[in-house]
Structures are given as C-alpha cells and as structure tokens.
Amino acid sequence: MELVTPNLGTIFWMVIIISIVAFVLKKFAWKPILNALYEREESIETALNAAQEARQEMDKLKAGNEELLAEARKEKESILREAMNLKESVIAEAKEKASAETQRSIEHARQQIQNERAKAVNEMKKQMAQLSLMIAEKVIRKEMADDKNQQEMVKRIVDEIELN
C-alpha cells in the first residue's frame, strides 16, 4: 500500500520538479511548440484554401471544356451538313450532266440514223432507177426486135402525142 500512497516529502519534491520543468518548458520550449502548431495550422489552412481554389478552377475548366465540346459538336454537325449538301449537289449536277450528255448522244444518234436512212433510201432509189432502166431497155429491145412490133409501137406513140 505504501506504493500507492506517496508520502508528503515525495509529493513536495514532485510539485517542485514539475513546476521547474513547466517553467523551463514555458520559458524555452512553449513558444517554439506553439509557433510550430500555428505554422502547421496555417499551412493546413493554406493547403485547404489552395485545394478549394484548385477545385473551383477545375470546375471552371470543366465548364469551359464542356462548352468547347458542345461548340465542337455543333461545328462537326455543321461540317457534316455542308458535306451532305455538297454531296447531294455534286450528285445532282453529275446526274444533270449525264442526262444532258445522254440526250446529246441520243439526238446525235438519231441524226446519224436519219442521215444513214436518207443515204440508204437515195441509194435504193438510184439502184431501182438503174434496175428499171435496165429492165425497160431489155423489154424494149425484146419487143423492138420484131419489125411488126416496132411499127405498132411507133404508131401508138404518135397516136398518144396527137391526143395530148
């Protein structure tokens, strides 16, 4: 039990030693410890403020980034729309040119066909005329081979001339 209850002399010296230690600590160590605590508190507060500012800056950058993305999307859609319109106009123009070229080719072919047809008809007429002349010549020679037929033919021609 003696260990649990200290005697009065021990308590006196303990109080004096603790007081001296407290005085020495207050005189030499208390200010640096408090200054270190204040500096630590200030650095933590500065770090928190910097983190808050960084968070706000990140929010601003994020909003700016989203705005840039929206603008880029609009520009992309605009470019795609322009490309589609250009594609459609190029296709329409190509169709128009192809149609006009086809019409010119068809008209040219028709003209050539008509020219060839006219040439063929003229050639056939020439050949028919030559053939008719050859047939008429042969028929007349055959009929004129006989003197009697020659006289009848001359008489008929004279009669026809007189009638006209």
Is pTM, for the whole model, over 0.75?
Answer: no
Residue 143 has pLDDT above 90, yes or no: no
Residue type, 26: K
Domain locations in the chain?
A: 8-163
The pLDDT assigned to 144 comes to 74
- Residue (of 161, 160, 162, 140) closest to 150 by Cα position: 140
Q: CA-CA distances (angstroms) from residue 139 to 51, 112, 133, 134, 148?
A: 127, 40, 10, 9, 15
Q: What is the mean pLDDT of residues 15-24?
A: 93
Per-residue pLDDT band for 11 (boundaries 50, 70, 90) equals confident
Residue 93 has pLDDT above 80, yes or no: yes
- Residue (of 125, 124, 146, 144) closest to 136 by Cα position: 144
User: What long-range pairs does 21-26 form, CB within 8 A, spacing at least 24?
Assistant: none
